[in-house]
Amino acid sequence: MADTAGGTARSERDDAHVFYSWSAQELVRPVTVAGGEGAWFWDTDGRRYLDFASQLINLNLGHQHPALVGAVQAQAGRLATIAPSFANPVRSELARLIVERAPGGADGGLNRVFFTNGGADAVENAVRLARRHTGRQKVLAAYRSYHGNTGTAVSATGDPRRWPNEVDPGVRHFFGPFTYRSSFGATTDAQECAAALRHLREVVELEGPATIAAILLETVVGTNGVLVPPDGYLAGVRELCDEHGILFVADEVMVGFGRVGEWFAVDHWGVVPDLVVFAKGVNSGYVPLGGVLIAERVAASFDHAAFPGGLTYSGHPLACAPGVASIHVFEEQGILDRVRSLGERVLGARLRDMASRHPSVGEVRGLGFLWAIELVRDPATRERLVPFQGTAEQNAPMVEVTRAVTAGGVWPFPQVNRLHLAPPLITSVEDLEHGLDVVDAALDVADRYVVE
Ligand code: PLP
């Protein structure tokens, strides 16, 4: 069998029977991971990597956190599984703890939780709640977004992962704010904010406000570039939704539970959505879990009419137990304060310094422990280091840069022409500095591609 990617042919490997996500199966060459601890994991050859991707940006408390592992073990010994139609103490406890930390506090009204198995099905159910509550079908979602790999979630996704999978005819897309590559010709965040809100208002008007159930937004856009919204944008979206009885759905799957230094990223701007979708960081992904935080007035629509949705494993006790443990760890160890302070003082400061020294860095942007380095060939025109949807040959420079980082024992999260950095929230200052040193050195590789 042809082995185009080098290394052992698939049929001869131990993982020959595993079918991998998002991949041409003959080209996958996964690292076989033997173990992990804290911010580090290692392969079966003993090679160690500092996890600057927190796996898929879910491992907020790091590998093998004893409190989380202990919670899973204790719950397995107590009650390993129970159907969602029964009340269960650990599920009830996690729902209460999440509601107590919901955007807007007790006045925000987000006081119910529907648990799911992960992020995509949480998005599905949030949209279903919005559609049933409003009696409207359309959902507006942003280009440059990812919402998950199921029917409506992937249809709402504003990147190429949608193209082969689009099934929901009710979704329409719009442009969110992105000053560095503005769709509106803006050059400042304030201009971009005003233009993006004007554009969204126009889309709402032209689609017909009375046909729109929800505006679905990643609070900080994750895989599509770590796009931090300019001040005023989310408040503007909230206002537009209120004017037309549209529900504001915040997708916080990647950025909730401390990733950007708040329980929920919307807290950074003091905005209260009607529905908040979460997963990943809620329990660091030790057991799959997601959910939707629901405003009381939306939940009330289902007080006497059944909600038409459910999942066998909704609020699985083995998933809720590390969720409860995780919230206690956050509180006991001051994780949110740590992320706010080190995110700016170490990650932000060092990355801005790199941007000033490496001509290949067009921009660095981020918040808390979630950052992107945008690599360019030409800082003047902002031409990407590799094109959007490039061929394997065109993408070679990014592969080279990424290899330089992994060869230095750091595991980044590369996307198109960007390196995303998202270490576990417990990473020591020493390890953060070490990882950044490796990234800094690897940027020399990207600099070689910059045009004179
Ligand atoms: N929403 C966002 C913002 C995400 O980043 C992701 C996953 O990366 C999802 C939804 C889908 O979550 P899951 O993969 O758990 O279904």
When pLDDT is cut at 50, 70 and 90, the band that residue 11 belongs to is confident
- Find the 328 Cα to ligand 1 centroid distance in Å: 24
Mean pLDDT value of segment 28-37: 96
Could you tell me which residue, 228 or 107, shows the higher pLDDT? 228
- Residue 365 pLDDT class (50, 70, 90 cuts): very high
- Pocket of ligand 1 contains residue 159 by CB under 6 Å: no
The boundaries of every CATH 3.90.1150.10 domain in the chain are 31-64+335-447
ipTM rounded to 2 decimals: 0.99
Residue 20: CB atoms within 10 A of its CB come to: 12
Pocket probe for ligand 1: among 22, 117, 125, 146, the residue whose CB has the most ligand atoms within 8 Å is 146
- pLDDT tens for 419-439 read 999 999 999 999 999 999 999
What is the whole-number distance in angstroms between the Cα of residue 147 and the centre of ligand 1?
A: 5
Tell me if 405 sits within 8 A of 438, measured CB to CB: yes
* Assigned architecture for domain 31-64+335-447: Alpha-Beta Complex (3.90)
Q: Does the CB atom of residue 279 touch ligand 1 within 6 A?
A: yes
Does 254 sit in the ligand 1 pocket, CB within 6 Å?
yes
Burial (0-12, 13-18, 19+ Cβ within 10 Å), 297: exposed
Cβ–ligand 1 contact at 221 (below 6 Å): no
Q: Is 99 exposed, middle or buried (0-12, 13-18, 19+ CB in 10 A)?
A: middle
pTM value?
0.97
- Check if 426 has its Cβ closer than 6 Å to any atom of ligand 1: no
Distance from the alpha carbon of residue 422 to the mean position of ligand 1, in angstroms? 15
Distance in Å, CA 190 to ligand 1 centroid: 29
| Class at the top of the CATH hierarchy for domain 69-333 | alpha beta
Residue 1 has pLDDT above 90, yes or no: no
Taking all residues of the chain, what is their mean pLDDT, rounded to a whole number? 97
Query: How far is the C-alpha of 238 from the C-alpha of 76, rounded, in Å?
Result: 42
Ligand 1: residue of 253, 264, 289 to mutate (most ligand atoms within 8 A of CB) is: 253
Structure tokens at 37: 């601890």
**254 C-alpha to ligand 1 centroid (Å):** 7
How remote is the CA of residue 218 from the centroid of ligand 1, in Å? 10
Residue 148 Cβ < 6 Å to ligand 1: yes
pLDDT at 6: 57
Distance, in Å, from the CA atom of 262 to the CA atom of 79, rounded to the nearest integer, reads 32
Residue nearest to atom 7 of ligand 1 (CA): 148
Query: Cα(144) to centroid of ligand 1, in Å?
Result: 14
Nearest CA to ligand 1 atom 10: 147
The answer to whether residue 43 scores a pLDDT higher than 70 is yes
Residue of 124, 154, 280 to test ligand 1 pocket, by largest number of atoms within 8 Å of CB: 280
Check whether 33 has a pLDDT greater than 50: yes
pLDDT at 452 over 90: no
pLDDT reported for residue 12: 87
Atom of ligand 1 nearest to the CA of 56: 8
Residue type for position 227:
L
Least-confidence region, from 4-8, 297-301, 392-396, 422-426: 4-8
User: Do 291 and 320 meet the contact criterion of CB atoms below 8 Å apart?
Assistant: no
Give yes or no for residue 83 having a pLDDT over 90. Answer: yes
- Ligand 1: which atom is nearest the Cα of residue 290? 15
pLDDT band at 4 (very low <50, low <70, confident <90, very high): very low
pLDDT at 8 over 90: no
Mean pLDDT of 349-375: 98
Query: Is residue 3 scored above 70 in pLDDT?
Result: no
66, burial (CB in 10 Å: exposed 0-12, middle 13-18, buried 19+):
exposed
**Does ligand 1 come within 6 angstroms of the Cβ of 118?**
yes
252 pLDDT band, cuts 50/70/90, is very high
Mean local confidence (pLDDT), 303-315: 97
126 ligand 1 Cβ < 6 A:
no
Contact 315, 90 (CB under 8 A): no
Q: Which atom of ligand 1 is nearest to the CA of 57?
A: 8
Burial code (b: 16+ CB inside 10 Å, e: under 16) for 312-334 equals: ebbbbbbbbbbbbbbbebbeeee
| Segment 62-88 mean pLDDT | 98
Centroid of ligand 1 to alpha carbon of 56 (angstroms): 9
In order of 239, 343, 401, the CA distances from 411 in angstroms are 40, 18, 12
Per-residue pLDDT, averaged over 34-43, amounts to: 98
Ligand 1 centroid from CA 146, angstroms: 7
For range 168-172, the mean pLDDT: 98
Looking from the CA of residue 123, the nearest atom of ligand 1 is: 10
Please list the residue range(s) of the chain that carry CATH number 3.40.640.10. 69-333
Q: How large is the average pLDDT for residues 10-35?
A: 93
Our CA dihedral for 27, 15, 13, 406, rounded to 10 degrees, sits at 60
Q: Which atom of ligand 1 is nearest to the CA of 121?
A: 16
pLDDT tens-place string over residues 217-245? 999 999 999 999 999 999 999 999 999 99
Ligand 1 in reach of 374 Cβ (< 6 A): no
